[in-house]
Structures are given as C-alpha cells and as structure tokens.
C-alpha cells in the first residue's frame, strides 16, 4: 500500500518536473518564434514585448488580425473563409481565430472595459445583437466607430443594422441573419387535412384554430416553447414593430398594447393546446421537434441546422412566414430572433487593415457569401449577397423549396426593434411576469410589476 | 534552574517563530491574491459606475437597493432553503457511507469508493444534460414513477417551483456526497481500528460505536466539511444556471447566479454586484464563526 | 458479528448508491458512441458512432494538445498547493496560539466572496503586475486556498505530539520533523488533498480564460465549453469530449483511493 502511494507520488512528481522542463523550453521556443516570424502578432507583441517588434514587423509587411467568435461550423468557418479570400489579394495578412464562446466574450469584455486594460482584446470580435447597445453605450471606449470607414452600411437591412447603431453612428458590421421562419411538418399537416399554404400569411387566431385541430387529430403540436423563456414573445412583439423601450430608452412594459396583446395571444395558445411548453433547457426544446410531439418550429432561421439534424425527417418539413398579431397596427408576418455583428475593438492597432478586411469580405464579396452558405447555412444580411445563384438553390430537406431566398426576403420585411440598453433586465422581468400570469396572476398587475422591476434596475 | 527556564522560554519563542515561517508563504499568497481584490470589492460596494475609472461615491445606496430588490431577496430565500435542507442531508449521508466503507470486512471497497466519488469528477456540462433529461416530463424518473403507480400523469419537475428546488437539492447531494466522504474516509484512518474492536468486545452496537467513537474523533473533519459546504451552498451557481436557469419565475435562482447576471448580463453595475457579494461574505462569515465556536475546540 | 440481514441491507444500500452515482458516467459513455440525434432522443443502448465522433472531435479541436495543457497546469498547481498549504496547515496547528488561530479565521474569509466579484479587481491587479498571458498569472491565485490550509490544519490535530517531542530530543530540526514524520504519517490526508486539488485545478475554467485567451493555452474544460457554444450542438461528440475530460480525475482517484482509505495507521510507531 505504502509502496503504491509513494510510486504514484513519484510518478506525479517526475512527470511534473519533466513537464515543467518541457514547459520552460517550450516557452523559450515560442518566445523565439514570436521574436522572429510571428512578430507580426500586433496585439500579442504589444501585450508582452515592446512596441518596437511590431514596427519592425510592419515594415516587413507581415500583418495579423485576431478575431474572437465561437461556432466552428458557422461563424468561425465564415471568418476563416473570409481570411482565405482576403489573403488572395493580401498575402501578408493572416487572421487568427480564437474560439471563444459568447458566454465568455461578455466577461472578458467586462474585465477589460472595467479596468481599462484593453490589451488582451482581439482586433475584431463577434457581438450578439441583443447585447450590442448595452456594451457600446456602457463602454464608449470599447468599439471603433466605423461610420466613416468606407463601409457602405446602406447595403444592410435596416432592421438588422439598428442593433449596432448608436446615436446614428455605426459600430458593427452585421453578419448572420436572424429572420424568423415558421417550419412545419407537412406529413403531420396532411394527416389533419392541411397544407403549408393554410399556414402562410395567417394571423395568430387562425394559427390557434389549426394548431388545436392538428393537436386533437394527431397529438402533435404545431409549436413549442421553453417554459419561462420568452423568445417567442419577443418575436411576436417585434413582428408588430413594437419594443419594450421607447425612443428615449424609457421602459414601456405596462400600458403597452402590443405587449399585452402578445401575452394574451401566447396564453390563449397554451390554454387551447396550440403550443407545447417544454422544460427551460435548450436540449429539451430541440428534442421537442426532433423526436417529441412538436411538428412545428417558429424561430430565427439559424434553427434550420437543428431541424436538419433529424435526417430521417428529410422532405417532411416546409418553411413559411410566421403568423401575425390580430388587431394591432403595423402587425406583420416577419420578425427577427438572434443574430450577431462584427465589431472592431479599440485594442486594434491597425484599424485601417481591420476595416479594409471587413469591407472587402463581409461587406463586399458576393462570392464569399456564396461560398459559405451551403455548408454553414450562414445567411447574409448584406443585400447584394442574395443575388448569388446558391441562394436560389432548392433544399431537399425542406421539400425542395428555395429556403435561403425566402429567408432573405423575410429579413427585408422585418420591422426594426429597439433593444434598448436594458434589454436583458426587461426580458427577465417580462419572463417572470408571464410565468406568474400563467399561474393565475392578473395580466395588468404583473406587467406593471415588471415595469417597476426594470425601472428599479435602471436607477 | 533559572537558566533552564530561560532556555525553555526562548525555545518556545523559537517554535512560535518557526510556526510563522511555515505559514507565511500561504498567508502572503492569500493576502495578495484574495484579500486585495476583496478590499477593492468592499470599496466598490459604496460606489456606482460602469468602469473603475468613472466610479462615483454612492454611499450605502447599493445596500439599500439590495434589500428592496425583489429578485435578490428571492434569491436569498432560495439559497437558504438549499442550505438548510441540503447540507445536513449530504453530510450525514457522507458520514454514514464513510463509516460503512471503513469496515475492514467489506468486499469491493475500491469499486464502491470510486463509484460514489465519481459524480463530483463529472463535468458540469454532462451532468446538467443528464439531470435535465432524467427529470423531463417524458424522462426516466416520470416513467418509473408512473409504472410504479405513484403518479397518474407526468410531473413537470423542472418547471414547477417545488420540483425545481427539489431537483437542485437532489443534484447537489448527488454531486457532493462522495466529495465529503473522501475527507471522512481519510480522517477515519487516524482512528485506530482496534478501538472499534475493543468497543465491539465491550458489547457496543455498530450504531453506538458510530456515535461514540466515529463522530467525536472525526469532529475536526466534520467542522471542515460543514464550513466548506456552507460556503459552497451560499455561493451556489452552477446548478441554478444549468439545471433550471433560475426558473420558473426566479423561484430557484441563487444569489451568485443573480450577481453573475448583474455583473455580466445586465447593464454593468459592478458596485451593486460587490454590495451583494459583501452580504454573502457577512452571511457565510457569521455561519462559519458559529460553527468554529461550536466545533473548533482542542480537547 | 453483524447479522446476515444487516449485512445484506448494507450491501444493498451501497450497491444502489453506487449505481445511482455511476449511472451518468455510463450514460455518458453510451452517448459517446451514438449520433447526436440519438442522444437527444434518449437512446440508452451503445451505438456504432464512436469512431465518427472521435474523428469529428479531432477534426474540430486540438484534443491531445488541450489534454497536455490541462495535465501540465493541473500538476503544477497541485504540487505547489500541496507543499504551500500543508506547511501552513502544519504551522497553524502544531505551533498554534491565539494569534495563529485568529489568523486562520481571517484566512477563511478569503473564500467567502463570490469569485465573480473579485475577478475583475484581480484582473486589474494582474495587468498592473504584468502577469497577463503568463503561466504565473494563471497559477499564482490558485496555489494557496483556505480550504487546503484548513484541511491540513484539521488533520494535523490528530498528529501525536509525543512524536514531535521524541524527534526533537533526537535532534531533528523542525522542518525535518515535518518532512520525515508528518509527511509520511499524513499520507492519507495528502492523497485526499491531492485528488481534490487536482480535480479543482483540472476543472478551473473562467480564470485561465481571463488570463490568457489563446488557442495554444486551451485546456480541456475550454474545449468542452467551445463545443456547446454554437447554434447546433453535436451531442455525441460533446459526450466523447466530456468523457475525455472526466477520466483523468477518475483514474487519479482510483489509483489513490487505497492510500487515503486504507492507510496503515501507526506507521511511525
């Protein structure tokens, strides 16, 4: 027993010393490398070594951009492809992508901005649209103003561009599309005697009739949502061009006719078996339509990837627009959920290079967007991209429909939404209100409570 | 005689000094890397602003706000429910398991020990997915309960206040019992096995030797685990975020979860986060102080 | 003698508890052999997708590099922690007086503020000290923990004082007593502390990320977390990665468990 313990200890100690040895020699090696070929690591060098190395490197023409984003099959792939495109004309420029989940990007930004120590930030980072206003306004020194950088922002859909625009200035280059699509299982619809056309350009009250009917006949719901999450409610709200905040940034949660209508519609869907409530976790939500009792999904177009994971359901899904609210001015069948934009940080030592890179790829190359579309499903928000032929190609999975063209079309019709700075606070307060209303609370009282909660947080 | 006394005195002085030498590296590291940020945090708790550069004096307003903040008060209540129910169950269970596994005649001890330790080594990502799918409406637990005739219809564990809290407590017990057991097992090695045998010869039942030998001799370790579990539960974060996301309607959110939200998710208000953190410090500190008073006596 | 029914009850309890504990690992292992969609659908039997999952994982991430990093950092932290904290725990207990007991209570305070609140000031301090992007910046804050210090302090309480006296008479210095007497006697405590410290260091996530967010310093928990960040998660591949992330701690525990649970008492007597 004793021997075994000592043996283990010895092994650990030995491997530690070996590793420590390796470690230091490795470090030395990387240091050398950094001094010679890799010296172009602009921010690297600035963070650790003296600035001279950077200048030397710049003279040699080697340049590097560091980027933070988080999805290998989606935005990382897009960024790496963009880098390849750019390298063709600028062989001296390399792009290093550091895979960083969104849940980490926010703490890292907060650390940097709170302490004023920006040196660790990358040149470019991907920002969730819903958090853009909050970060740009709370940390005015964080992002580079791109308004006069030569990028033609008019080529992006107005609804999308709004997220990254603060006080009329552009701080972000819109990237992926969050246009809302409604997807339904055509085989289930057929069983109940409906077609996809019956669900196109309809109102929520019509949807409720059909969905309850389908549920009664087949046991399948045409829609699911996570308990306590309000993605759907936010989508419904935006579809009527309404927000939780007014232009001055004041919260409008109580006395908001559109929001009240949305909440009533939502509750009516639940009460009439037209909407399935799953657990609050994402995997349970996915499961509901991959294998559970949901035969329909309404969400941002990026949800297509998760639907397509169920390969055995190929050809059984079809895409159309979402239902619209009844009796509300400005109600449409279009909305947005999710999506993100690229931002250039103030730690970027070569803003010209960064903007030129973005300008010639994400806002300048139809071919680039055409290349990333098929394997990533990253649908552009840059209008000219939709001209590419691939956008018109039919999707086998979605019943031979030209889905990408459809999504781009939807996104141009989407009303814009004012997330405000306090978006996440308001979301949480409204979600709490919805749960309380479902448990028998009075709708006006609960929304008034939510309003009070948010106002208290805005102090 | 006098000389001897003097020598003894200087010797005890020397030992005292040696003691300080032994603990200085650790104390210094803690002072620099824990206390310095803590003091900063304490100062910020009286300030307001989005970045350190523009922090302004805010008096005790952060503290006043805290007690008027319904979500935070709810999280405080939730955290105490977890603390009061989970910590005693877990520690008692760990103690029972450790004394069972300390039995020399038991077979497959290695397997049992490793199996029971396993949950705390399991990465959070996977165990959250597993627990959520086990307790979903069409999950394993509902299926079993319905087959046994205990339930007529599936129970929505995670979307119901009591259910969500129960699942969190269960998950905590599952994850940390083996962890605490490790310390009890290692503590038990310092008790001579012959003490138990002597007790047996004297006619003591296993239960009696548990209460009269095991518990008193493990007292220092029990104190340690009690303080650590109190601290861990009052700072509970992972389970609230990953199992229930604080829901439904904040009914299972914990204090640390809310502090995380106010720091990173909401509009940055670091002063307020600090004030709430200082409250946690005061709460855990008080509880630990009581536990030390009761348990940290040298016989 | 324990009666037979009692014995059966004891085994039954242990078996049920073990199965309850081990179930998720089995589930994880099964999930790692299945396609993502089957994991979502709750398939509970082993599949044939293990090799595909492995290939996908290797293609998407630098698994063995992350594994190497995790081992390197965890071992460094564990060794330094054990040395620093066991010295301190010994110092606190063997030479205890009013001041040292008081200091122990103060040190305990260091763990009572949520890390979220101390992280940002700590980051600012590290930046000023020039520790950003260095291994030192990553390792230093996790070496000395109130938990380990107190663990050794509490364990030292059962270390017989007459051994120390005897050793002093034999002419051993205080540090020699620590190395030659305390260290071997407290093997079980060291083994338990080593397991737990290694596990904590292995699972440490946010701080390493804050100090150096670079591909070449990626650790296993970062790798796992990256896999869940996208719009679409491949659950089969994720579970395989999680399995790789869990096994080292389990193996270390399995190797050490005899040391801390069946230590030969009275080895020094």
pLDDT 10s digits, A320-350? 999 999 989 899 999 999 889 999 999 999 9
Tokens matching residue C131: 């520790």
Per-residue confidence (pLDDT) for residue A371, from 0 to 100: 92
Q: Is B199 on the interface with C (CB under 8 A)?
A: no
What is the tens place of the pLDDT at every residue in B22-72?
999 999 999 999 999 999 999 999 999 888 888 899 999 999 999 999 999
In C, residues 155-214, which contact B (CB 8 Å cutoff)?
155, 157-158, 174, 178, 188-189, 191-192, 195-196, 199, 203
What distance in Å separates residue B95's CA from the closest CA in chain A? 24
Distance CA C95, CA C93 (A): 6
Domain B71-295: which topology? MetI-like fold (1.10.3720)
How far is the alpha carbon of C170 from chain A, nearest alpha carbon, in Å? 25
Contact B159 A138 (CB under 8 A): no
Q: Per the CB < 8 Å rule, is A115 touching C206? A: no
Asked if C107 lies within 8 A of B30 by C-beta distance, the reply is yes
CB atoms within 10 A of CB A208: 23
**Domain membership flag for residue A447:** yes
A14 Cβ under 8 Å from any chain C Cβ: no
Same domain flag for A320 and A430 = yes
Q: What angle do CA A265, A266, A267 make, to 5 degrees?
A: 95
Q: Is C258 on the interface with B (CB under 8 A)?
A: yes
Say whether pLDDT at B94 is over 90: yes
For A158-168, the pLDDT digits (tens) are 888 889 999 89
Contact B76, B277 (CB under 8 A): no
- The pLDDT tens digits for C128-151 are 999 998 889 989 999 999 999 999
Domain contains A258? yes
CA distance linking residue A424 with residue C77, whole number of Å: 37
Q: Within a domain: residue A133?
A: yes
> What's the pLDDT score for residue A439?
87
| Chain C nearest-CA residue for A306 | C232
Question: Is position A33 within any domain?
Answer: no
Tell me: do A172 and A192 sit in the same domain.
no
For residues A54 and A186, membership in a common domain is answered with no
What is residue A25's predicted lDDT score, i.e. its pLDDT? 37
Residues 56-75 of B with CB under 8 A from C: none
Tell me the C-alpha distance between A400 and A390, whole Å: 14
Do A144 and A208 fall within a single domain?
no
Task: Answer with the residue of higher pLDDT: B5 or A151.
Answer: A151
CA dihedral over C108, C114, C120, C123, signed as positive or negative: positive
Chain A residues inside the 8 Å CB shell of C225 = 101, 103-104
Test A106 with B264 for CB contact under 8 angstroms.
Answer: yes
pLDDT above 70 for A33: no
Backbone angles phi, psi at A156, to 5 degrees: -100, 150
Q: List chain B residues with CB under 8 Å of A113.
A: 50-51, 268
- Picking from A5, A16, A302, the nearest residue to C75 by CB comes out as A16
Helix, strand or coil, per DSSP, at residue A99: strand
Which among A47, A44, A119, A172 is positioned nearest to A347, based on CA atoms?
Answer: A119
Would strands A173-174 and A180-185 be described as parallel, antiparallel, or unpaired? Answer: unpaired
d(C-alpha A117, C-alpha C123), whole Å: 9
pLDDT grade for C212, boundaries at 50, 70 and 90: confident
For residue A422, give the chain B residue with the closest CA. Answer: B267
What integer pLDDT is reported at residue B2 of this predicted model? 58
Composition of chain C by helix, strand, coil, percent to 5: 75, 0, 25
Task: Give the pLDDT confidence score for residue A15 in this predicted structure.
Answer: 46
Calculate the CA A443 to chain-centre distance.
Answer: 30
Contact flag A281-B245 (C-beta cutoff 8 Å)? yes
Would you say residue A169 lies in a domain? Answer: yes
Query: In the prediction, which pLDDT does C74 show?
Result: 94
Of the two residues B166 and A41, the one the predictor is more confident about is B166
**Of C58, C21, C64, C228, nearest in space to B125 by CA:** C228
Determine, for residues B159 and A228 on separate chains, whether the beta-carbon distance falls below 8 Å. Answer: yes
Task: Say if B113 is an interface residue toward chain A (CB within 8 Å).
Answer: no
B163 vs A contacts (CB less than 8 Å): none
Q: How many independent structural domains does chain A possess?
A: 2
Residues in C closer than 8 angstroms to A100, CB to CB, are 209, 213
CA gap A206, C96 in Å, rounded? 78
Specify whether the CB–CB gap between A324 and A333 falls below 8 A. Answer: yes
- Taking CA–CA distances from A431, the nearest residue in chain B reads B249
Q: Does C94 score more than 80 pLDDT?
A: yes
My answer on whether A115 and A74 are in the same domain is yes
C-alpha span between C195 and C250 (Å, rounded): 9
Sequence-distant (6+) residues with CB within 8 A of A223 are A207, A211, A232, A269, A274, A275, A276, A294, A296, A297, A298
- Whether the complex's predicted ipTM is more than 0.85 is answered with yes
Mean pLDDT over all residues of chain B?
88
Of A285-299, B7-21, C200-214, the poorest mean pLDDT is in B7-21
Q: Which two tokens stand for residue A192?
A: 């109940």
Q: What percent of chain A has pLDDT over 70?
A: 87
Whether the predicted pLDDT of B3 surpasses 80: no
B-chain CB neighbours of A284 within 8 Å are 132-133, 136
Q: Is the predicted pLDDT of residue A55 greater than 90, yes or no?
A: no
Rounded mean pLDDT, B259-287: 94
Q: Which chains touch A (3 or more CB pairs under 8 A)?
A: B, C
Model-level pTM greater than 0.80? yes
Q: Does the structure show a pLDDT above 80 at C95?
A: yes
Look at residue C258 and tell me whether its pLDDT is greater than 90: no
CB contact under 8 A, C87 and B25: yes
Statement to judge: residues A449 and A364 lie in one domain: no
Is residue A223 within 8 A of residue A286, CB to CB? The reply is no
- pLDDT for the residue numbered A309: 85
Of B38, B125, B288, the CB nearest to C113: B38
Mind listing the pLDDT tens digit for each residue in B206-241? 888 888 888 888 898 999 999 999 999 999 998 898
Helix (H) or strand (E) holding C106: helix C98-109
CA atoms within 13 A on the CB side of A392: 3
Q: How confident is the model at residue C2 (pLDDT cuts 50, 70, 90)?
A: low
Q: A423-458 as b/e, with b when 16 or more CB fall inside 10 Å?
A: bbbbbbbbbbbbbbbbeebebeebbebbbebbbebb
CA–CA dist B202, B195 (Å, integer): 11
Q: Which of C88, C140, C253 sits opposite B117 (nearest CB)?
A: C253
**pLDDT value at B268 more than 60:** yes
The C-alpha of A389 sits at a distance from chain B's nearest C-alpha, in angstroms, of: 40
- Per domain, the residue ranges of chain B are 71-295
Averaged pLDDT, A221-236? 92
- Tell me phi and psi for residue A40, to 5 degrees: -70, -10
Does residue A297 sit in the same domain as residue A234? yes
Which pLDDT value is given to residue A60?
53
CB proximity under 8 Å: B 121-160 to C: 121-123, 125-127, 129-130, 133, 139
Answer whether the bond into residue B248 is a cis peptide, omega within 30°: yes
Distance from CA of A58 to the nearest CA of B (A): 32
Query: Do A370 and A235 sit in the same domain of this protein?
Result: no
Nearest to C116 among B22, B227, B256 (CB): B256
Q: Please, which residues bridge with residue A156 across strands? A: A382
pLDDT in tens, B69-84: 999 999 999 999 999 9
Same domain, A203 and A121: no
B158 contacts in chain A (CB < 8 Å): 227, 279-281
Q: Which of C16, C21, C89, C244 to mutate to test the interface with B (most CBs of B within 10 A)?
A: C21
Nearest Cβ partner for C121 among B18, B37, B193: B37
Q: Are residues A305 and A281 in the same domain?
A: yes
Tallying the residues shown for chain C, one arrives at 269
For residue A368, being part of any structural domain is answered with yes
Hey, is the C-beta of C258 within 8 angstroms of any chain A C-beta? yes
DSSP state, residue B210: I
In terms of residues, how long is chain B?
299
> Is the pLDDT assigned to residue B95 strictly greater than 60?
yes
Helix boundaries (H) for A272-365 = 282-290, 304-308, 351-360
Residues 6+ apart with CB under 8 A from A44: A34, A38, A64, A66
What is the DSSP code string of C25-68? HHHHHHHTTS-HHHHHTT--S--S-HHHHHHHHHHHS-HHHHHH
Percent of chain A with pLDDT over 90: 65
- Using a CB-CB cut-off of 8 Å, the residues of chain B touching A110 are 263-264, 268
Over residues B169-188, the mean pLDDT reads: 91
Query: For residue A7, is it within any domain?
Result: no
Q: What is the span of the domain harbouring residue A112? A: 39-177+338-392
CATH number of the domain encompassing residue A446: 3.40.190.10
Q: What would the pLDDT profile of A261-304 be if each residue is shown by its tens digit?
A: 999 999 999 999 999 988 878 888 988 998 888 999 999 998 99
Q: What residue ranges define each of the domains in chain C, with the CATH number in brackets? A: 61-261 (1.10.3720.10)
What is residue A394's DSSP assignment? P
Co-location of A322 and A342 in the same domain: no
In this structure, the answer to whether residues A74 and A209 fall within a common structural domain is: no
pLDDT value at residue A169: 94
pLDDT of residue B8: 65
């Amino acid at each position: 027993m004793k021997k075994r313990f000592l043996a283990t200890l010895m092994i650990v100690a030995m491997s530690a010393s070996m590793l420590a040895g390796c470690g230091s020699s490795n470090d030395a090696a990387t240091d050398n490398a950094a001094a010679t070929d890799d010296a172009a690591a602009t921010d690297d060098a600035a963070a650790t070594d003296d600035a001279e190395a950077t200048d030397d490197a710049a003279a040699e023409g080697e340049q590097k951009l560091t980027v933070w984003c988080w999805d290998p099959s989606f935005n990382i792939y897009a960024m790496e492809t963009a880098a390849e495109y750019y390298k063709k004309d600028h062989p001296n420029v390399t792009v290093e992508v550091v895979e960083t989940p969104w849940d980490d990007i926010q703490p890292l930004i907060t650390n940097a901005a709170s302490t004023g120590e920006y040196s660790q930030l990358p040149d470019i980072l991907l920002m969730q649209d819903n958090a853009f206003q909050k970060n740009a306004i709370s940390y005015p020194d964080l992002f580079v103003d791109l308004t006069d950088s030569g990028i033609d922002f008019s080529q992006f859909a107005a609804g999308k561009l709004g997220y990254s625009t603060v006080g009329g200035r552009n701080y972000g280059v819109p990237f992926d599309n969050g246009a809302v699509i409604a997807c339904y299982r055509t085989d289930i619809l057929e069983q109940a005697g409906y077609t996809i056309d019956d669900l196109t350009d309809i109102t929520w009250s019509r949807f409720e009739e059909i969905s309850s009917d389908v549920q009664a006949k087949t046991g399948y719901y045409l829609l699911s949502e996570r308990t306590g999450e309000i993605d759907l409610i936010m989508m419904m709200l935006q579809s009527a061009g309404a927000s939780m905040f007014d232009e001055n940034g004041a919260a409008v949660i109580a006395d908001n006719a559109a929001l009240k209508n949305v909440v009533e519609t939502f509750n009516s869907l639940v009460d009439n078996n037209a909407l399935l409530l799953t657990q609050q976790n994402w995997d349970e939500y996915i499961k509901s339509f991959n294998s559970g009792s949901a035969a329909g999904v309404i969400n941002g177009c990026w949800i297509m990837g998760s639907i397509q994971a169920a390969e055995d359901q190929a050809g059984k899904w079809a895409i159309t627009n979402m239902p619209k609210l009844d009796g509300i001015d400005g109600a449409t069948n279009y909305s947005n959920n999710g999506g993100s934009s690229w931002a250039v940080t103030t730690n970027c030592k070569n803003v010209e290079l960064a903007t030129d890179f973005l300008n010639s790829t994400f806002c300048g190359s139809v071919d680039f967007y055409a290349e990333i579309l098929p394997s990533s499903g990253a649908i552009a928000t840059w209008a000219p991209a939709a001209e590419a032929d691939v956008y018109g190609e039919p999707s086998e999975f979605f019943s031979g429909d030209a889905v990408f063209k459809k999504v781009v079309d939807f996104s141009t019709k989407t009303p814009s939404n004012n997330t405000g700075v306090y978006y996440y606070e308001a979301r949480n307060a409204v979600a709490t209100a919805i749960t309380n209303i479902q448990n028998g609370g009075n709708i006006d009282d609960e929304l008034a409570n939510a309003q009070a909660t948010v106002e208290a947080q805005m102090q | 005689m006098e000389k001897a006394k003097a020598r003894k005195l200087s010797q005890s002085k020397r030992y005292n000094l040696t003691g300080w030498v032994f603990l200085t590296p650790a104390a210094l590291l803690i002072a620099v890397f824990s206390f310095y940020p803590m003091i900063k945090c304490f100062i910020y708790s009286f300030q307001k602003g989005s970045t350190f550069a523009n922090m302004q004096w805010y008096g005790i307003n952060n503290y006043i706000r805290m007690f008027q903040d319904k979500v935070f008060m709810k999280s405080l209540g939730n955290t105490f429910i977890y603390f009061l129910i989970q910590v005693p169950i877990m520690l008692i269970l760990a103690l029972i398991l450790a004394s069972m596994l300390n039995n020399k005649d038991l077979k497959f001890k290695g397997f049992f020990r490793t199996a029971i330790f396993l949950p705390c080594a399991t990465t959070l990502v996977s165990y959250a997915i597993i627990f959520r799918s086990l307790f979903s409406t069409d999950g394993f637990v509902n299926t079993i309960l319905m087959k046994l005739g205990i339930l007529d219809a599936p129970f929505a564990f995670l979307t119901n206040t009591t259910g969500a809290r129960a699942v969190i407590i269960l998950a905590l017990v599952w994850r940390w019992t083996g962890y605490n057991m490790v310390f009890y097992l290692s503590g038990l090695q310092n008790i001579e096995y012959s003490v138990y045998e002597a007790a047996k010869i004297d006619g003591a039942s296993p239960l009696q030797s548990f209460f009269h030998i095991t518990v008193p001799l493990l007292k220092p370790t029990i104190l340690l685990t009690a303080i650590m579990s109190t601290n861990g539960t009052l700072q509970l974060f992972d389970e609230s975020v990953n199992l229930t996301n604080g829901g439904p309607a904040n009914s299972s959110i914990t204090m640390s979860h809310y502090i995380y939200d106010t720091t990173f998710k909401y509009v940055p208000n670091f002063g307020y986060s600090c004030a709430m953190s200082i409250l946690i410090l005061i709460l855990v500190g008080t509880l630990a102080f009581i536990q030390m008073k009761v348990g940290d006596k040298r016989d | 003698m324990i009666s037979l029914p009692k014995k059966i009850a004891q085994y039954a309890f242990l078996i049920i508890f073990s199965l309850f504990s081990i179930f998720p690992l089995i589930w994880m292992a099964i999930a790692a052999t299945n396609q993502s969609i089957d994991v979502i659908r709750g398939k509970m039997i082993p599949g044939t997708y293990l090799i595909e999952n492995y290939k996908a994982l290797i293609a998407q991430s630098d698994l063995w590099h992350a594994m190497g990093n995790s081992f390197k950092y965890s071992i460094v932290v564990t060794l330094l922690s054990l040395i620093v904290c066991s010295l301190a725990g010994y110092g606190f207990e063997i030479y205890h007086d009013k001041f040292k007991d008081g200091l122990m209570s103060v040190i305990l305070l260091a763990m009572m503020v949520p890390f979220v609140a101390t992280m940002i000031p700590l980051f600012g301090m590290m930046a000023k000290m020039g520790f950003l992007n260095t291994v030192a910046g990553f390792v230093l804050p996790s070496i000395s923990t109130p938990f380990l210090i107190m663990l050794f302090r509490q364990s030292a309480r059962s270390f017989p004082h007459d051994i120390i006296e005897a050793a002093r008479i034999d002419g051993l210095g205080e540090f020699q007593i620590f190395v030659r007497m305390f260290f071997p006697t407290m093997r079980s405590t060291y083994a338990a502390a080593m397991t737990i410290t290694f596990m904590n260091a292995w699972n440490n996530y946010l701080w390493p990320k804050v100090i150096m967010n670079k591909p070449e310093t990626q650790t296993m928990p970062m790798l796992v977390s990256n896999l869940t960040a996208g719009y679409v998660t491949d659950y089969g591949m994720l579970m395989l990665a999680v399995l790789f992330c869990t096994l080292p701690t389990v193996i270390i525990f399995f190797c050490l468990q005899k040391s801390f649970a069946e230590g030969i008492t009275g080895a020094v007597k």
